[in-house]
Chain A
């Protein structure tokens, strides 16, 4: 929505706040503390590992767990190197601290996204585990009076000369050991792995670490957090993008029992109440006159028409091979299609929320399920006046006054990674407006979630190919899209990856390639949506490839094999998926797509039934994924299953449209996520690899759309250029 004039930390503040974390990785073994909390003494051995006197080993997650499995995956890496017993492993979200927990893939700022968690942590957490292991080994050697090389470490115990001690018993002594130099650390050979690459095994209780609490309803999500005396806040925001509050009549709202305050903030009008129901009734009772003088007035159809006008001219160059666009003129046949992709809503199941407890002039504590906790922290500092003087003499956030506790999140898909810290901004503005009289529990309803922007950007790809002598001789992909990065702290001024990834790195060996992009301004706010640019670039590339291949008289899979000869990892994924898919059953149609995203390689084969009335059902999807070394194969499978379901949901039926500047859809009844009856059987096959591990949260999403469209194309001959596909082929 309604873009608001809220504070967003500038690039300068962010960079200033990033300490040494950006330079490389440190395991932070200077962080050695022992703290007695009740009967248990907790000892940290570095920034990532904490050993309890109860013999638990807790790994600090610098990434948030929102379903993608990092609480298990990251913990597994440490468990392996420290030689733990799986039953002693625990996880905890780390505090907000860029210096200790910055993500190198985010320039050293804390952040979960881009499927980088395992990829960016692999070497660091191996080192953290190995370092802690050596400290424990030396502590045991001292205690037993033996040489360190004689100490055997196995399943959380140290043994030598008939003596043994658990890690829990050794932890305090281990913390007194000088940590070994990172360069001196040695790592387990893959052949000796106990946990890495091992499958779920219920009999051994080896599985996801977050399963038990989620099954028993003990998992701690932000929306479940309610400090004593908290007031629930709902915000009325402008129905139209770019609209502002004109005047407010809050008399009826204030008359609702339980409503305590109505305050205006830059984002809209907030109603505070002692419980949700009162806050909702209060918000419903507000009479607001909106000032729409600067608001968007167009509908999505008009926006698309505007985007298409731009496509007549070249955009910013993103890739040129051979003669580029000039290669699209010449001998043979030229085919072209405009691919239209709608705005998409992330719609995580847990509605957006956060809790802030503000003590004016003293401190603030934030509980949230945020993908960017330090960005939230800095934003809250500025809004609430916790500002100090930075090294450059300019105001800087005093982060010592604002703590962030990261809670589990009920899904995100990118929605909780907001450079403008939207949730914390609203909560902090409300807390400030009521001078911290009570903790503020900010809640968004599903309607707020669907209607308030931060969508996958709507976009149009104009795809062009020149076919000659049975070959694709030239390929053109021109996009008009809003940039996700524009105006954020990640804005570099150049065409950014979020708009062109997956288009500009097309791997097919085609002699002439031209990829260019028009970055469009539009007041509808946009954000990364699970697999970001690949959500549309993969569809346009992979579906249009089948259209072109068929026009050239070639089998699309065979032509892919030929043109991917220099890309062995894409080729291997493609071949594995096709092989495992086997023979197509009678009465079904099949489509195939392969795509490289987030450093992983995924091919998907979709078997589809098209009924006599034109309706269709995706029955089975065979997926092959190469994500380097696999930390946890079952989580790889679950992410592929989920990614396929999430991507299929979008291409079948999701679209957020705009009429006269305001969203049309409201809730799950008109923005319909995939349901069980639409979910295909998914088989996942993993390409064996010794390459470093790469992401799995997003790469399962991109190929499903084009695989399904290619299956439909195979029977109907149609190009499926307008999304969503809807009910009929």
Chain B
């Protein structure tokens, strides 16, 4: 079956229950999507499916036929670029492992709500865990990305 990943069509011929995460990381070598918990509890594996955040660790690749999947490697929307610029300006990262997922969640949030309130930022980002607790900078960077988007 065909999946569209970062604008490129891919033929998926794997097992029906194999999560997208492992297809991305192992077969396509798109290792920017991270493994964190395997149970959709942390958000490290967040990708966008037709623009909406989704947990690649519990979503079978085979369930995404015809969908447009965006990973950190293909995040080139205006919101995505603003997010990456803001993340860089504020030096948000520490270990960095969760940050692909954080940035994709932020890009989805800003696409839907370009001018989020502080509460909307927290609500929109609350399902992504950062064990380094960079949350304060993430909050700041989402707000900064919103500014960059104008």
Q: Does B103 contact A (CB under 8 A)?
A: yes
Given A217-B32, A411-B131: A634 in contact with B37 (beta carbons within 8 A): no
Q: Does B46 contact A (CB under 8 A)?
A: no
Q: Does B137 contact A (CB under 8 A)?
A: yes
A208-B96 Cα distance, complex, nearest whole Å: 12
Residue total for A at the interface (Cβ-Cβ under 8 A): 58
Residue of A nearest to B27 (CB): A275
A347-B131 Cα distance, complex, nearest whole Å: 8
**CB-based contact A215/B122 at 8 Å:** no
Residue of A nearest to B100 (CB): A217
Residue total for B at the interface (Cβ-Cβ under 8 A): 54
Q: Is the interface of B mostly helix, strand, loop or mixed?
A: loop
A679-B132 Cα distance, complex, nearest whole Å: 12
Q: Does A146 contact B (CB under 8 A)?
A: no
Given A215-B84, A276-B26, A667-B41: A349 in contact with B93 (beta carbons within 8 A): no
- B127 — which chain A residues lie within 8 A by C-beta? 675
**CB-based contact A638/B91 at 8 Å:** yes
Which residues of chain B from 48 to 80 have any CB-CB distance to chain A below 8 Å in the complex? 71-73
Q: Please, what's the 1-or-0 string for A216-239, where 1 marks a CB less than 8 Å from any CB in chain B?
A: 110101011010000000000000
Q: Does A446 contact B (CB under 8 A)?
A: yes
Q: Does B89 contact A (CB under 8 A)?
A: yes
Contact of A214 (CB < 8 Å), options: B38, B96, B126: B96
CB distance from A355 to the nearest CB of B (A): 13
Q: Is the interface of A mostly helix, strand, loop or mixed?
A: loop
- B35 — which chain A residues lie within 8 A by C-beta? 223, 350-351
A275-B15 Cα distance, complex, nearest whole Å: 12
A668-B134 Cα distance, complex, nearest whole Å: 18
CB distance from B98 to the nearest CB of A (A): 5
A217-B19 Cα distance, complex, nearest whole Å: 20
**CB-based contact B38/A638 at 8 Å:** no
From A84-92, A395-403, A640-648, the one touching the partner chain is: A640-648
Residue of B nearest to A224 (CB): B31
- A649 — which chain B residues lie within 8 A by C-beta? 133
Contact of B39 (CB < 8 Å), options: A215, A226, A668: A668
A223-B36 Cα distance, complex, nearest whole Å: 11
Which of B89, B126, B127, B132: most chain A Cβ within 10 A? Answer: B132
Which residues of chain B from 112 to 150 have any CB-CB distance to chain A below 8 Å in the complex? 122-123, 125-139
A223-B98 Cα distance, complex, nearest whole Å: 13
- A446 — which chain B residues lie within 8 A by C-beta? 36-39
Which of B22, B123, B139: most chain A Cβ within 10 A? Answer: B22
A408-B99 Cα distance, complex, nearest whole Å: 14
**CB-based contact A675/B95 at 8 Å:** no
- A207 — which chain B residues lie within 8 A by C-beta? 88, 91
Q: Please, what's the 1-or-0 string for A653-678, where 1 marks a CB less than 8 Å from any CB in chain B?
A: 00000000000000111000111110
**CB-based contact A641/B133 at 8 Å:** yes
A276-B17 Cα distance, complex, nearest whole Å: 13
**CB-based contact B97/A350 at 8 Å:** yes
- B36 — which chain A residues lie within 8 A by C-beta? 349-351, 446, 668
**CB-based contact B122/A276 at 8 Å:** no
A451-B3 Cα distance, complex, nearest whole Å: 36
- A69 — which chain B residues lie within 8 A by C-beta? 94
8 contacts between A and B (CB under 8 A): A67-B95, A68-B94, A217-B73, A275-B22, A277-B15, A348-B97, A411-B132, A668-B36
Interface residues of A (CB under 8 A from B): 66-69, 200, 202, 207-208, 210-212, 214-217, 219, 221, 223-224, 226, 257, 275-277, 347-351, 408-413, 445-447, 634, 638, 641-642, 644-646, 648-649, 667-669, 673-677, 679, 681-682
Closest 10 CB pairs of A and B: A645-B133, A410-B97, A217-B32, A67-B95, A214-B96, A67-B94, A679-B135, A224-B31, A349-B97, A668-B41
